[in-house]
Structure 1
């Protein structure tokens, strides 16, 4: 098990780190001091070394690699008692990924702030290597895992050695904070008066107990306060404090609005919308490279990447620079394969019965629950796998657990694979530019719904940025007329998106349609769609207020919203952090839009915070049969991905 991994610059700045256990910072400091500064270690500083140089300290082994032209040191820390054969390959892959993702940013001479969201890539690498290591151990000592290192992307193409990196600086430990918590239970001892040094302090005088038995703490404090209080005049003692008038409670009507005594009083204290001139003073928005999160087809359409394909393509591109042809197996390899095939045909398998599957199915169910799959969904998946396996003969040299694992992978692929087309770009074009003369162009409407705090407005802005990359005119509607700050949040997003669209060019436009607070959200949405049709907008993105899925009064308003806005797609945002409650959330929202109208897809947010616990994908799809359309993997506008079914299945079965 890896204990810690750090990416440190040669100037001593920790750019990124991941710790699984608490280790002393002196380990990394000792490595830098002994190896890089004083050069007391015999290890050579070679970024292409294989195996990687190691350094032992306090029962830990530290392995590292470097990128000289970027001035980076990659350090992996694990216990010396362990034998992790994949550490060298992990260092190579992390070095390649980090340099490809952030090398351009680090090479800027005027960089003031370095932003790095490397955790999803690193977690994916750890899960893959641990899975390969477990498979190698289970298959026997003769099996091996291919750990051929890849060449660094920062290597000089001429093959000459680059000058060594500058001497790094030791990291300084943060000073420990000492917080003084004054106690309110004991009255502090006052300083004795200097005019009468022979008189003891009042609090030091012995006093008799106020009554029999033990006193409460409140009584003791009152007695101490009475003896230590300064003397006051008679006028002061006769003064009485007057209580202020009681605060008038605010009442709310059935619609969620306040009933005020004064007619016409509005509880909208938000600032008025600012014009474009005031927006110009806002800080500059960092540009987003379109190649980092999608590709453009020959037809000019911008298609999103998924996380697994993005990471594999980076490593494959780096490995292609130094890849060589694999030697053929020759006569010996082909002969062994033939003999093995004949032997497998001789040995038969085992016919599975219900008793054989009881224990493996229970273990598989618990495994899925640990991956954040709802218990209900895990049970249904295991029942489906059991029906497929009963009476089946296992493959030769294959255990029951392996057979069950393969069947579960098939079941997961089946449930996560969409049964309908998810090509939103084609649907938008068919509505905005119909091929039939009998149809008139109109805007394509997408509504975003969900419970409170899942990231509806954030993912709506990501979706808007994706549509702007495809040169659409996007109108964002502030349909959340209840939450304080909801309109202002969308104003900031629209301002940023306008600047990014202006840099891209190509005719893409974005604007905000707002009517303030306290209005009926369904009427605002209906008016916005009519306005978009008159003004020639391509896409309308409607934000809605968050609501609890178990509050019938709040959920009932969605039916009116669906009738007036008539959205082409209703996407529900669910967060990857939620557990079994995701099943009920999905079902309640799916049934809230009236007869004949259901959800059209899910956007699962915060997928970058859960590692391999992506069971919410399965739970919500199982509960409704509605597919997952997008995944949110960060806080930037480009952190939107499409679902890779193979990626999800690989994480769930790891």
Structure 2
């Protein structure tokens, strides 16, 4: 049902309003009401092209009557799927204007007269309650009709399909012997009923096939109901059967059992003495560095540092071109060529920038930036350039680069700290009452199917082990076949890689698993309790991949978050996606916020706290997914994955991402 409905003048005068619940009435009267937020954050700022406005669990829709300066607003709980709201707004506007247009025109004329000083009477002299005294009944009738129609539509969609039993078609001779109509084709009801009953009786005796209860033979035909099925089945089974092992009457020997045991990997020749080949697990060139205080830091991702030896000639040509240019000149390549027409001293206007901004948008989209994000970025760049006086091509070029660079930097700059080690050590070192046990730092990894959550969770685990922390991995993907075994292999490998990358670290990492088909939220809770009782520092919670539109699975994920309240919720996404990244992140974040407070937790909304972008090494300079993800959530990208070994983890620097996006 609706929460609030109102009709107001654009100047702020409320002509009529209705709140449907006491809570909605209090909310509507407060400064933090969704309607007031709509006015402040959408209408005043001119963002009226959006389909609806959402705030604090409410969804608000509106429509205008510009010639009468009216705003019609409807607010309702966002979680409700009210299909009639758009139809209600349209009907509300049409009916209200049809009934009260003369009064509204007079009222509007009086307001204009007051504004121009031609009249001293204000809007306070108008009695809206008397003018619209019959409107409440009409509105109730309109709303009831729309709600009834919506209820009927829901029943029609939920109604099961009725299948009718089709009688066998009668034989030709039966039809010929059926009673015929009279000459004038008229029959009384009794005659029709007798004819129908007679036809049914003949069909039961002749054409119908009645099968005995429990199977058996067909009554009337005298044949099996499925002729040949029993005799054909053995031959089909023999044709499709695989070769089976013959065990005999004796129990298998230990050698035979070992040859059939595929649950664990057999030690290779190089690992006969219990030594693991570390070259397959650790890339020495990708190892991070140690700080002065002994902390292990992963490397920064740097744009343009690879494959330089494969392009020596191009590099020499670029160096030669740079040497001939003055130090103050900065090239923007294809983007710079868009500004070639803007030479000489002039003030930039919207018409000057329109084709340039369109070319800039195309450039960003080629870098894998989502279309709607590219539109908003270019809009901000245009606003910063309109009215700016430029002189000379190089000056214009530098101004454009600076404006675009500032916009990208502003978007990518983290609003919160990306130092996970600092957060972990702060929690582990904070004072606690003597009667309370210290809880471990927990991180939950979420995302869609196949993006690499388990693999990159293991890379983060390796980084934590290198910093001397004890890690417990909770196998909460109880759906995908092999998910637990995959983590078990990672734990076995990580146990061989100690603090120095080559010494044994058994006891620093363990796996907590309860098999498949169990409640993931319960397993995570048990894992955190186990980590607390056994002095683990960090718990990494692996979850099953799920599509962002699957509501039951999103509710289950929100339940896990609400019950266990992890310190960080990390979304794992691919660098390969463009527009899809916006849809995935928006719906994951919204579902977690909507469902987490209603899933038995502490009542606090939880959204995504950071991102880990995988397959970063596959996109070269097309790193626009980083811009799209950060723009949508406002949260930082903590790490990027760029390979298959445990050391293939990087952290992003804003300047490097901006450089990659601006490159041609």
Using the size of structure 1 for normalisation, the TM-score is 0.51
Q: Given the alignment of the two structures, is residue 284 of structure 1 paired with residue 280 of structure 2, yes or no?
A: no
Change (3 A) 1:275 1:375: closer
Deviation sequence 1:173-210 (CA, Å, 0-9, x none): xxxxxxxxxxxxxxxxxxxxxxxxxxxxxxxxxxxxxx
Structure 2 match to 1:466? 463
Deviation sequence 1:139-196 (CA, Å, 0-9, x none): xxxxxxxxxxxxxxxxxxxxxxxxxxxxxxxxxxxxxxxxxxxxxxxxxxxxxxxxxx
Consecutive unaligned residues in structure 2, runs of 5 or more: 1-227, 238-260, 310-322, 328-342, 598-604
Q: Take 1:512 and 1:292, find their aligned partners in 2: how far apart are those partners? A: 26
Structure 2 match to 1:519? 518
Cα RMSD for the two superposed structures: 3.5
Structure 2 match to 1:581? 580
Change (3 A) 1:537 1:399: same
SS at 1:501 equivalent:
coil
Q: Take 1:555 and 1:244, find their aligned partners in 2: how far apart are those partners? A: 45
SS at 1:631 equivalent:
strand
Report deviation, 1:400.
Answer: 4.2
Report deviation, 1:408.
Answer: 1.1
Q: How does 1:46-61 map to 2 (within 5 A)?
A: none
Report deviation, 1:419.
Answer: 1.4
Structure 2 match to 1:637? 646
Deviation sequence 1:407-460 (CA, Å, 0-9, x none): 111111111110111110011111222256677532100110000000000000
Change (3 A) 1:282 1:485: farther
Structure 2 match to 1:607? 616
Change (3 A) 1:506 1:381: same
Deviation sequence 1:80-121 (CA, Å, 0-9, x none): xxxxxxxxxxxxxxxxxxxxxxxxxxxxxxxxxxxxxxxxxx
Q: Given the alignment of the two structures, is residue 357 of structure 1 paired with residue 353 of structure 2, yes or no?
A: yes
Q: Take 2:401 and 2:423, find their aligned partners in 1: how far apart are those partners? A: 37
Q: Given the alignment of the two structures, is residue 509 of structure 1 paired with residue 508 of structure 2, yes or no?
A: yes
Indicate if the aligned counterparts of 1:479 and 1:544 stay in contact, CA closer than 8 A: yes
Indicate if the aligned counterparts of 2:432 and 2:438 stay in contact, CA closer than 8 A: no
Report deviation, 1:396.
Answer: 4.8
2:288 to 271, 291, 294: 294
Structure 1 match to 2:147? none
Q: Given the alignment of the two structures, is residue 558 of structure 1 paired with residue 564 of structure 2, yes or no?
A: no
Change (3 A) 1:364 1:402: farther
Structure with the larger helix share: 2
SS at 2:514 equivalent:
coil
Q: Take 1:290 and 1:277, find their aligned partners in 2: how far apart are those partners? A: 24
Change (3 A) 1:523 1:574: same
Indicate if the aligned counterparts of 1:586 and 1:624 stay in contact, CA closer than 8 A: yes
Structure 1 match to 2:220? none
1:391 to 387, 393, 399: 387
Change (3 A) 1:653 1:625: same
SS at 2:509 equivalent:
strand
Q: Take 1:522 and 1:437, find their aligned partners in 2: how far apart are those partners? A: 28
Indicate if the aligned counterparts of 1:451 and 1:549 stay in contact, CA closer than 8 A: yes
Structure 2 match to 1:571? 570
Report deviation, 1:620.
Answer: 1.2
SS at 1:463 equivalent:
helix
Structure 2 match to 1:218? none
Q: Take 2:585 and 2:282, find their aligned partners in 1: how far apart are those partners? A: 33
Q: Given the alignment of the two structures, is residue 419 of structure 1 paired with residue 415 of structure 2, yes or no?
A: yes
SS at 2:498 equivalent:
helix
Q: Given the alignment of the two structures, is residue 434 of structure 1 paired with residue 433 of structure 2, yes or no?
A: no
Indicate if the aligned counterparts of 2:286 and 2:648 stay in contact, CA closer than 8 A: no
Structure 2 match to 1:598? 607
Indicate if the aligned counterparts of 2:303 and 2:659 stay in contact, CA closer than 8 A: no
Q: How does 1:57-68 map to 2 (within 5 A)?
A: none
Report deviation, 1:309.
Answer: 8.0
Deviation sequence 1:457-500 (CA, Å, 0-9, x none): 00000000010110100101111000000011001111100011
Q: Given the alignment of the two structures, is residue 648 of structure 1 paired with residue 653 of structure 2, yes or no?
A: no
Q: Take 2:444 and 2:521, find their aligned partners in 1: how far apart are those partners? A: 11
Report deviation, 1:506.
Answer: 7.7
Q: Take 2:622 and 2:303, find their aligned partners in 1: how far apart are those partners? A: 19
Change (3 A) 1:395 1:538: farther
1:367 to 339, 363, 366: 363
Q: Take 1:568 and 1:498, find their aligned partners in 2: how far apart are those partners? A: 25
Report deviation, 1:382.
Answer: 0.4
Q: Take 2:496 and 2:504, find their aligned partners in 1: how far apart are those partners? A: 10
Structure 1 match to 2:301? 307
Report deviation, 1:272.
Answer: 10
Change (3 A) 1:472 1:273: farther
SS at 2:526 equivalent:
helix
Q: Take 2:630 and 2:423, find their aligned partners in 1: how far apart are those partners? A: 22
Q: Larger deviation: 436-445 or 460-469?
A: 436-445
Report deviation, 1:540.
Answer: 0.4
Change (3 A) 1:275 1:512: farther
Q: Take 2:376 and 2:229, find their aligned partners in 1: how far apart are those partners? A: 71
Q: Take 1:349 and 1:581, find their aligned partners in 2: how far apart are those partners? A: 42
Report deviation, 1:559.
Answer: 1.4
Change (3 A) 1:531 1:401: same
Change (3 A) 1:491 1:290: same
Report deviation, 1:273.
Answer: 7.6
Report deviation, 1:650.
Answer: 1.1
Indicate if the aligned counterparts of 1:304 and 1:641 stay in contact, CA closer than 8 A: yes
Q: Take 2:549 and 2:392, find their aligned partners in 1: how far apart are those partners? A: 51
1:477 to 444, 464, 474: 474
Structure 1 match to 2:538? 539
Q: How does 1:50-449 map to 2 (within 5 A)?
A: 242-244=231-233, 284-286=277-279, 288=282, 292-308=286-302, 311=305, 349-394=345-390, 396-398=392-394, 400=396, 402-435=398-431, 440-449=437-446
Indicate if the aligned counterparts of 1:478 and 1:487 stay in contact, CA closer than 8 A: yes
Indicate if the aligned counterparts of 1:549 and 1:585 stay in contact, CA closer than 8 A: yes
Number of aligned residue pairs:
366
Report deviation, 1:627.
Answer: 1.2
Change (3 A) 1:524 1:275: farther
Consecutive unaligned residues in structure 1, runs of 5 or more: 1-238, 248-270, 316-328, 335-346
Report deviation, 1:568.
Answer: 0.4
Q: Take 1:283 and 1:426, find their aligned partners in 2: how far apart are those partners? A: 32
Indicate if the aligned counterparts of 1:476 and 1:510 stay in contact, CA closer than 8 A: yes
Q: Given the alignment of the two structures, is residue 455 of structure 1 paired with residue 455 of structure 2, yes or no?
A: no
Structure 2 match to 1:625? 634
SS at 2:294 equivalent:
coil
Q: Take 1:240 and 1:451, find their aligned partners in 2: how far apart are those partners? A: 45
